[in-house]
Amino acid sequence: MQLDPASGWCQGVCHCPSPNFNARPSGEISLLVIHNISLPPGQFATGKVQAFFQNRLDVTEHPYFEGISELRVSAHFLIERDGTVIQFVSCLDRAWHAGVSSFEGREACNDFSLGIELEGTDELPFTDAQYQALIALTRQLQAAYPGITGHRICGHSDVAPGRKTDPGPAFDWMRFRSALQHTGEIQ
């Protein structure tokens, strides 16, 4: 995978463009927000996250979908359980992933952040393939956007406390942060 800073799109990953984005109010990209998602909740490899981010979710397929049918959301990236990386929005654009949010007293995190969704739940461990893909992708993003320092990588729960819990207690922050500090083999 290789990020093209001029377009904000990664080469070597699946592109699944979402209509749920708009222009950033400034060119600043200085925060990375880690999320988790599965649709229906706790079910994986259904293709429903992609449909949701493209406003194509069939609400008749599962009772849970009715409650989210009016939402218009996206993230820049999704990392599936097998490590497949899907990009929905150019990094240069504002994806609608963090919602009402604040980082270090600054509101509206979507304005200056990138969002990565991990296919999963708060309680289930993420896969080795997901960590490997997340580490590789994060390194690409940090190289292109030096404002994303180690201190400026957080969970959705950190920017929307009380409202969001993801990526949840099953996400191994120590493993992720330790691997980012080592330039050799991915852990």
Residues marked as catalytic:
117
Return the DSSP state at 158: H
Rounded distance between C-alpha atoms, residue 158 and residue 177, angstroms: 16
Is 76 buried (19+), middle (13-18) or exposed (0-12) by CB count in 10 A?
A: buried
75 vs 87: CA distance, rounded Å: 8
The closest of 58, 24, 22 to 40, measured between CA atoms, is 58
Distance of CA 134 to the CA centre of its chain: 9
